């Protein structure tokens, strides 16, 4: 029986385990990427491991999140990242060079390679045929130090694309259609592999839009073949040497098949406050819009921006709308400066923002109170924009441009504008001067650490009995934005766990921090898909710092589950989901972990005097990690044994 694309890459990189669904496997990582919101912690962790130089083929440190420098904090972090990269053998993409996923696609992504990134949208590189996976920062630090990356062998889902997209229907509508069908939980434990005749009609930027937002399905990753379109993109980047063809075998077996006829898709839009709250644009036509934002790692490619410029030629931004555009990289900004698109956008009244994540992570351009903001981004979680009572809608650049013109949600097919046909440049405006190579003399480099960078906190080994209060009980689909939000106020504290921990659960329970400190820690009770969204490990580190010993939930998202284990927080699922309803906030629980080797853990509700059955989501490695209090002490001990063994 033949292999699919993902299986071929996994097989070529398999270091431990069997390539059987549900089995724990360890794979070799070729490349890593970090960004500044998560990267500061990654390099602190790398240093805590005692590592001296990265062992990957390529590692890149990007600055694209915390570029708003209102105090010394972000600037200090950037200097720390630059000096750490230089010393440890990492390339450094300076502030202003662009969004990590867009720049990596342009300058570093290689078909058939593995990539691990401390950002949940790392699967963007699947548009190039990479096996690219988002992970917590500690997993990335371990990969940089030469350790395998461990995960459960995912199910492989074949997504067969037929037909071709009609005018003003975009790649964004493909992934919105999948979210509409499957929900934000529908991809957990799965890899989505795109095949079929429809694939040939999609350019690399369009494929990258789809793989990028596959993260919103909860997917491990998404991947496209490497074909003639891939070659053309790499050749235009003067990187044709990095091309290699990659296709599934004709008799490749898949765990499931989903068919999408591209010709039948219509413009779609996600309503607040979840990316899977998807309806046709036609259902919301006439809804007044206060703000439109175009960009993010999902939709800031040259194709996206040229499409918007085409639609806005000889047009004006509607008087009731504030419109902004974020070029995904400095390369793209130079392209639109050269070809006249920037002039069109500026003349229309569009605000041009820095090539960075910006408003997608709540870093500027917040909507007005109770405003409607239409964005080409990937997430519309409550409060993520910086305005808690705003309504955030997600749509394609075509639908966003239509709203800029009309001042309301409008089906772009009804504007009477001629369709735009994008042509890939023969050669992009390549300029890598803002990507700094590591120092050839690392021993001469001094790592600069500002006063906001605090030592990396570590957990204690797991005791045989844990007793504490349920500090908070939350519902389904709680995101890492709910657990520890982003935004201009909080993101500069990513390298200062004592300070950032004060914002834990502040979006939904401003009193949580005080309660956790007063009680000396305790437990969290969650619903389905607990911890979905961003890969930010701070949503595990801050609770650990506050004394959280276990999370009891109906189910967990993949990355957050791994982060909890990495930091020694016990992840438990209810064997009987109805038991979720029997536990309330303030109940005192006692958890007996003495049988952890047998995965036999008992939970007693001391307040109400009953016991419930739970299942610890741990494999053999996870059990040993929990006993040690986290993956750092586990790996350090393993390395000591190897040195003396």
> Catalytic residue positions?
64-65, 119, 379, 534, 536
Beta pairing class for 149-152 and 155-162? unpaired
Beta pairing class for 278-280 and 522-526? unpaired
CA distance 508 to 483: 8
Residue whose C-alpha is closest to residue 371's, from 442, 292, 439:
292
Strand partners, 115: 31, 132
CA distance 542 to 534: 15
Could you tell me which residues come within 8 angstroms of residue 19 by beta carbon, excluding any fewer than 6 positions away?
7, 10, 11, 25, 153
Beta pairing class for 291-294 and 600-605? unpaired
Find out whether 189 and 152 touch, Cβ atoms under 8 Å: yes
Find out whether 285 and 411 touch, Cβ atoms under 8 Å: yes
Beta strands (DSSP E) in 533-569 are: 548-553
Q: In what order do the strands lie in the sheet with 372-375?
A: 278-280, 268-270, 391-394, 372-375, 291-294, 322-325, 351-352
Residue whose C-alpha is closest to residue 591's, from 611, 567, 608:
611
Residue whose C-alpha is closest to residue 129's, from 250, 278, 230, 261:
230
Q: What backbone torsions phi and psi does residue 181 show, to the nearest 5 degrees?
A: -75, -40
Q: Which helix (H) or strand (E) holds 269?
A: strand 268-270
Find out whether 434 and 94 touch, Cβ atoms under 8 Å: yes
> How wide is the angle at C-alpha 525 spanned by C-alphas 520 and 531, nearest 5°?
105
Beta strands (DSSP E) in 118-210 are: 131-134, 149-152, 155-162, 190-195
DSSP assignment of 48-77 equals HTT--S--SSEEEEE--SS---SSHHHHHH
Distance of CA 579 to the CA centre of its chain: 31
Could you tell me which residues come within 8 angstroms of residue 31 by beta carbon, excluding any fewer than 6 positions away?
56, 57, 58, 59, 60, 108, 110, 113, 114, 115, 116
Distances (CA, A) of 201 to 166, 234, 240, 248, 417: 11, 17, 20, 18, 22
Query: Rg for the chain (alpha carbons), in Å?
Result: 24
Helices and strands (DSSP H and E) totals, the chain:
19, 27
Distances (CA, A) of 319 to 223, 291, 391, 398, 413: 41, 11, 19, 19, 22
Could you tell me which residues come within 8 angstroms of residue 70 by beta carbon, excluding any fewer than 6 positions away?
488, 492
DSSP assignment of 429-483 equals ----TTEEPPPS-GGGPPPP--TT--PPP-PPPPPSEEEEEEEEE--TT-BHHHH
């Amino acid at each position: 029986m033949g292999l699919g694309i993902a299986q071929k890459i996994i097989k070529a990189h398999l270091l431990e385990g069997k390539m059987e669904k549900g089995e724990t496997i360890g794979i070799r990582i070729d490349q890593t990427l970090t960004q500044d919101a998560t990267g500061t912690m990654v390099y602190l962790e790398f240093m805590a491991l005692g590592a001296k130089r990265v062992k990957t083929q390529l590692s890149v440190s990007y600055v694209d999140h915390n570029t708003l420098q209102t105090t010394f904090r972000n600037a200090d972090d950037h200097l720390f990242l630059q000096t750490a990269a230089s010393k440890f053998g990492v390339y450094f993409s300076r502030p202003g060079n662009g969004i990590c996923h867009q720049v990596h696609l342009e300058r570093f992504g290689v078909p058939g390679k593995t990539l691990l990134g401390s950002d949940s949208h790392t699967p963007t590189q699947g548009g190039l045929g990479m096996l690219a996976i988002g992970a917590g920062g500690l997993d990335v630090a371990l990969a940089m130090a030469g350790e395998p990356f461990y995960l459960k062998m995912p199910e492989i889902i074949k997504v067969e694309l037929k037909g071709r997209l009609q005018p003003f229907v975009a790649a964004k509508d493909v992934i919105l259609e999948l979210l509409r069908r499957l929900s934000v939980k529908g991809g957990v434990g799965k890899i989505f592999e795109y095949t079929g005749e429809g694939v040939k009609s999609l350019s690399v930027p369009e494929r990258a839009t789809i793989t990028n937002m596959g993260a919103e399905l909860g997917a491990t990753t998404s991947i496209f073949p490497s074909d003639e379109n891939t070659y053309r993109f790499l050749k235009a980047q003067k990187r044709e040497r990095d091309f290699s063809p990659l296709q599934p075998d004709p008799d490749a077996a898949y765990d499931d098949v989903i068919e999408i006829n591209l010709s039948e898709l219509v413009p779609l839009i996600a309503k607040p406050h979840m990316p899977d709250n998807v309806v046709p644009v036609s259902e919301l036509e006439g809804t007044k819009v206060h703000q439109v934002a175009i960009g993010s790692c999902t939709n800031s490619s040259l194709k996206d921006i040229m499409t918007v410029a085409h639609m806005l030629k000889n047009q004006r931004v509607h008087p009731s709308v504030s419109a902004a555009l974020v070029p995904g990289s400095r390369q793209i900004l130079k392209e639109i400066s050269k070809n006249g698109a920037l002039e069109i956008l500026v003349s229309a009244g569009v605000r041009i923002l820095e090539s960075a994540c910006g408003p997608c992570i709540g870093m500027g351009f917040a909507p007005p109170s109770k405003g409607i903001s239409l964005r080409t981004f990937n997430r519309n979680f409550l409060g993520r924009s910086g305005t808690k009572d705003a309504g955030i809608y997600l749509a394609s650049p075509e639908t966003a441009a239509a709203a800029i013109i009309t001042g309301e949600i409008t089906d772009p097919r009804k504007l009477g504008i001629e369709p735009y046909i994008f042509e890939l440049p023969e050669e992009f405006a390549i300029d890598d001067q803002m990507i700094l190579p590591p120092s050839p003399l690392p021993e001469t480099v001094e790592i600069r650490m500002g006063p906001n960078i605090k030592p990396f906190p570590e957990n204690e080994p797991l005791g045989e009995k844990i007793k504490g209060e349920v500090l908070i009980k939350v519902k389904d689909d709680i995101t890492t934005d709910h657990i520890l939000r982003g935004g201009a106020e909080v993101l500069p504290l990513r390298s200062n766990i004592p300070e950032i921990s004060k914002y834990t659960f502040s979006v939904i329970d401003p009193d949580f921090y005080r309660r956790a400190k007063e009680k000396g820690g305790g437990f969290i009770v969650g619903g389905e898909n607990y911890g979905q969204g961003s890969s930010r490990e701070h949503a595990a580190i801050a609770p650990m710092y506050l004394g959280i010993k276990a999370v009891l939930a109906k189910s967990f998202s993949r990355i957050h589950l791994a982060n909890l284990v990495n930091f020694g927080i016990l992840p438990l699922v209810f064997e009987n989901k109805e038991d979720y309803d029997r536990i309330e906030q303030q109940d005192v629980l006692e958890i007996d972990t003495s049988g952890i080797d047998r995965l036999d853990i008992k939970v007693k509700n001391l307040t109400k005097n009953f016991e419930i059955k739970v299942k610890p989501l741990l494999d053999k490695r996870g059990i040993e990690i929990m006993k040690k209090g986290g993956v750092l002490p586990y790996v350090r001990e393993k390395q000591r044994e190897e040195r003396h063994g």
